[in-house]
Structure 1
Amino acid sequence: IDDDMAPGGEPLKVTADDDFTFRMQFAVPYPTIVDILPSQAPWAPKQYLSQWHTNYNADADAKAADENFGAWYEAFLYHADATETQQDAELPVLGAWIFASQDTQGNTRYTRNPYFWGVDPEGQQLPYVDELEKLVVENREVLTAKVLSGEATHHSWFLTLADFPLYKQNEATGNYTTRLHPDLRASEMGFAFNYTHADEVLRELFNDIRWRQALSHAINRAEINELRFAGLGVPRNPIMHPGPAFWEDGLDQYYTEFDVDKANALLDEIGLAYDSAGEFRLRPDGAPLALTMEVDAGRADLSEIGNLIKNYWAAVGVNISVKGQDQQFFMQRMRANEHDIGVWAIGGSSEPYSRQNEPIRYRPPWHWPTTPLGGPLWRQWLDTDGVEGVEPPDIIKELWDVTVEWQQEPFGTDRYNELGYQMLEINAENAWLIGTVGLVPRVSIISNTVRNHPTDEDILSIEYDMWTYHLMQQWWIEA
């Protein structure tokens, strides 16, 4: 069962009071269920899916075999998938559009849901737009060409500030408008060291707060902001954006001052001597200190920032290489505890995202457990009550307890705000997850034929499900 439905490690219990009322019981207090229930995730159409479930159809295994599945549950999960990977065009859904088809290139077509529940103030059923197409392109260059020529009705995810002038220059030709929206991403690139590294020397080094302080101070975030984001972002560490009642100014600024002298002093204090050439530092055991920063090979932006960091750290004697990896291979290495430095774009840090899902940026492994940036074996230990993994230090156990209680506390109470502040403060002081530049405006283009679309002032962020927040069912196309 999904973790969202098993807080405290025990699956929820559901009992039906009558045909229209059911009761959900959890092993621990779980007020965040209120945030989860309005989404598509918890719901599935029983009348349709029962045919693939052995509880309702004795021939479910045979039916699955006829469809070339190995077992009934494989067929059930295939037909129940209502996410962006949906393949069953007959599945009833709650959304405004329903999956219609997908070609061999992955281009997907959706048609309006004739049973969608939403109506406008005049009583007209939504959505206004009859059909959506999600097109797959080979690379960013092809995407840019399609945007400039006006082939995209709207797009944002892979547009960059670096190309913002290019988008603006071609607005008339492409018949679109370029917008800059506030975004709540905590850091466009962040990283964590592997705190459970198999190499005992590196593990001890990574867990020394002076090491993390030093390498954070060695990063010139202001320069990254100018070179990569036209000075429009905020140099910061990936602590929640200002907004929650428990926020305090300065939480995102711990160890962000660019200070090479301070960085060198901290590294000297640890005892990291230079090699005979005076170029790079040695490990505490006297061996060369050489680390690898692994990044998703499909994210050139992360590699570019990684190479800037490589140069900043070389200036204080720390030698790293930046290595692009296939994403699946990279994630596999992190799960296997084989990496030195894990890198990702640090979204998912906001109050509603952290509360509804889990505080992935505020406890090990500082990302989803399937993509552990730092300390994957700590998370194993925490998830299995010490049966597997490596026992974390007391401060991590304290942090874990704080985040668990925070999610269980009703929103807005004094205790909720107290725990929220503790969660941020512990992370800020210990710098397990280090950031670069965040709160960078997000670029979007939207065709001039679209009406009821967002304006420059509207937030466009993964923290609020991107375009979902702007109610696309209310958009319409002017002929």
Structure 2
Amino acid sequence: MKRILLTAGLAAAWALMAPLASAAEVGSYVSPPYFADAEAKGDLPPVNERLPDHPSVATMDEPGRQGGEMRMLMASPKDSRILVAYSYARLVGYDRQYKIVPDLLESYDVQEGRIFTFHLRKGHRWSNGKAFTSEDFRFWWEDVANNADLMPAGPPRILLVDGEKPKVEIIDETTVRYSWSKANTDFLPALAAAGPLYIYAPSKYLKKFHQKYADPAELEAAVKDSGQPSWAALLNRRGNQYRNDNPKLPTLDPWVLRVKPPADRLVFVRNPYYYRVDAQGQQLPYLDQVVFDVAEGKLIPAKAGAGETDLQARYIRFDNYTFLKQAEKNGRFKLYLWDDSRGSNFALYPNLNCNDEGWRAVNRDVRFRRALSLGIDRHEINQAIYYGLGKESANTIQSLSPLFKPHYQTAWSSYDVSTANRLLDEMGLTQRDDENFRTLPDGRRMTIIVDTAGESTEESDILELIKDSWREIGIDMFVKPSQREVFRDRVFAGDSVMSVFFGVDNGLPTPDMSPQEFAPSTQQQLMWPKWGQYIETGGMNGTDIDLPEAQKLAALLKAWRESTDTQARAGIWGEILQIWSEQVFTIGTVANIPQPVIVAKGFHNVPAKGIWSWEPGAHFGLYKPDSFWEENPKELSPVENRLQ
């Protein structure tokens, strides 16, 4: 088994990858055979009338053929949202160099980092054939985001700069402008995210559920039939673009949901009005259909090894590699190993906002966090769990990032029992019980209860190794598994002293990517959820930041958001990462564990080498699955092979 080596810099890695798009024009267009019957019957207009005047033209390693399907395995009907991420149709999106470029938009202009002018593609249509125009932006802003019934807290905070809403101007049918008095550096990255900020909505469809536009009697009947408590609840339920659970909701994505969740089999068929073509003029996506078969998460690796999927990485872990490599010999699929972008495969999160006063005081002492980190034998974890293929590291950015410095990974991350014990003694934690475990100042044994979602044996094995090494510094551990929702609720409420989860999502940042993962910004941050909630709710919930080093991080994040100069942003990033590495707010273990990726035999344009990154990149989304194609397309059943 050969290790995928990280290159010295981002440029070298990205040079191996094909460009995402081309500005070239295509003279004529080729309609998918999938739509031949609908076109012949007059149910669909010709392809030239379905595409924008200037469609996006994709370039790829291997131009393909239209037809076939792609099967994937998911653990829940709620995973229908994952196709929104993988489809990665965004106003603007990241290319393979992680630069933000126009996607749904034909172009955009930015002035002074605060004035954003968006130019839509003339003739672009939603999946139901209705025009995608500036009216969809106006409707969302005026009638949704600023409607107290639909959004009681007001527009998303990402659209507020020091509390200031954007000025939204509808210039013409294909031009929209957003402006603030100060820079909004988070705006474009939010639009390009795996779970994007939607600043538009299919207005013609949703107006029939909106009190301002709908016939009162018809709306009242629709609310009653839906079982929702109000028209606002109905509209929010029917109009959630990211959830992707309403087959009637128009979309701009390459595939349209055709089976309403919950179901054991979710079917998505191609969008007849999709905005992209290949260099030969063939309308994308190549694949007619995507199918999600819902299975128990723990069974997905076995099902994948048996050939029940065409593309799979979600729910596949490195500890499945040996089994899958053996199954690869059957010839049904190829097994690739992609580099993982996370700062650490697993990281510990001391909860600085926990309710237990004794543990909260200890967690907030940097000497304690450093001692716990020094008390972990990462080399043992790397060898025993990952066959020595990982990078023993703190939970921080990786060497592929242009912001990387080696000491970010090495600070307080060596195995040093002597220094760890000295730091704990300096804290006054010198008292021991009859089993030689240290005690808290109130006399309780220092048994750290680590909350976990308990989703892998790999995680359990790592925690067992950490428990053994922490005994050498007088610290005991008890692992408390629970379902993911319960796990998160415990952390958010402050009932958890410490938790374990994946490390930072974006281990490959550039200066122009937001450093918000490294500063209090959201409740989702397991080390300071109440501070994040305070920021997210504008002080209505949670608690204000009261630790100087965390306050400094919040101030630096604000400074980054106000900066419009890349060099200045890089300097701010450096300050943030230095504080992060010295303060050990999270405790990393091993980074860059290869991510197994299963690709069915005969599937093309899935990179053999890639970067598995949720944010940025949306996992497969960065590589545009609308360009994936099947060498020998499967024949679809008559029920599925039809436009509904």
Normalised TM-score (structure 2): 0.69
Pair 1:476-2:629 in alignment: yes
Alignment of 1:26-425 (within 5 A): 26=180, 28-37=182-191, 41-59=198-216, 60-83=219-242, 85-102=243-260, 104-140=262-298, 142-173=299-330, 175-350=332-507, 359-364=515-520, 368-369=522-523, 371-383=524-536, 389-410=543-564, 413-425=566-578
Change (3 A) 1:391 1:441: closer
| One-letter amino acid matched to 2:173 | D
In the aligned structure 2, how far is the partner of 1:361 from the partner of 1:205? 23
Alignment partner, residue 90 of structure 2: none
CA displacement, residues 26-80 of structure 1 (integer Å, 9 cap, x when unaligned):
3642133233445663332112211112232252454323322211122212222
| One-letter amino acid matched to 1:413 | T
CA displacement, residues 160-213 of structure 1 (integer Å, 9 cap, x when unaligned):
222212212222325111111112111111122121233332222111111111
| One-letter amino acid matched to 1:345 | F
In the aligned structure 1, how far is the partner of 2:452 from the partner of 2:236? 31
In the aligned structure 1, how far is the partner of 2:334 from the partner of 2:453? 31
- Partners of 2:351 and 2:527 within 8 A in 1: yes
* Percent of matched pairs sharing the same residue: 26
| One-letter amino acid matched to 1:419 | I
Give 1:277 deviation, angstroms. Answer: 1.9
Give 1:106 deviation, angstroms. Answer: 4.2
In the aligned structure 1, how far is the partner of 2:475 from the partner of 2:529? 24
Change (3 A) 1:206 1:346: same
In the aligned structure 2, how far is the partner of 1:340 from the partner of 1:38? 34
Moved more, 414-423 or 51-60: 51-60
| One-letter amino acid matched to 1:78 | R
In the aligned structure 2, how far is the partner of 1:95 from the partner of 1:259? 51
CA displacement, residues 311-360 of structure 1 (integer Å, 9 cap, x when unaligned):
2112211012011012111211112111100221124234559966x645
Q: Structure 2: any 5+ residue segments left out of the alignment? A: 1-154, 633-644
In the aligned structure 1, how far is the partner of 2:178 from the partner of 2:377? 50
CA displacement, residues 280-316 of structure 1 (integer Å, 9 cap, x when unaligned):
0011233322220000033443333222212211221
Alignment partner, residue 83 of structure 2: none
In the aligned structure 2, how far is the partner of 1:9 from the partner of 1:275? 51
Normalised TM-score (structure 1): 0.91
RMSD, aligned α-carbons:
2.3
- Partners of 2:338 and 2:612 within 8 A in 1: yes
In the aligned structure 2, how far is the partner of 1:281 from the partner of 1:144? 41
Secondary structure of the structure 2 residue equivalent to 1:180: strand
Change (3 A) 1:77 1:207: same
Secondary structure of the structure 1 residue equivalent to 2:477: strand
Count of aligned positions:
471
Pick from 140, 158, 168 the counterpart of residue 14 of structure 1.
Answer: 168
Alignment partner, residue 107 of structure 2: none
Change (3 A) 1:108 1:13: farther
Moved more, 326-335 or 214-223: 326-335
Change (3 A) 1:38 1:273: closer
In the aligned structure 2, how far is the partner of 1:331 from the partner of 1:258? 30
Pick from 600, 612, 615 the counterpart of residue 460 of structure 1.
Answer: 612
Secondary structure of the structure 2 residue equivalent to 1:252: helix
Q: Structure 1: any 5+ residue segments left out of the alignment? A: none
- Partners of 1:162 and 1:230 within 8 A in 2: no
Change (3 A) 1:352 1:73: farther
In the aligned structure 1, how far is the partner of 2:180 from the partner of 2:232? 25
In the aligned structure 2, how far is the partner of 1:68 from the partner of 1:354? 48
In the aligned structure 2, how far is the partner of 1:196 from the partner of 1:461? 28
Secondary structure of the structure 2 residue equivalent to 1:89: coil
In the aligned structure 1, how far is the partner of 2:192 from the partner of 2:305? 37
Secondary structure of the structure 2 residue equivalent to 1:292: strand
Change (3 A) 1:354 1:465: farther
Secondary structure of the structure 2 residue equivalent to 1:334: helix
Secondary structure of the structure 2 residue equivalent to 1:469: helix
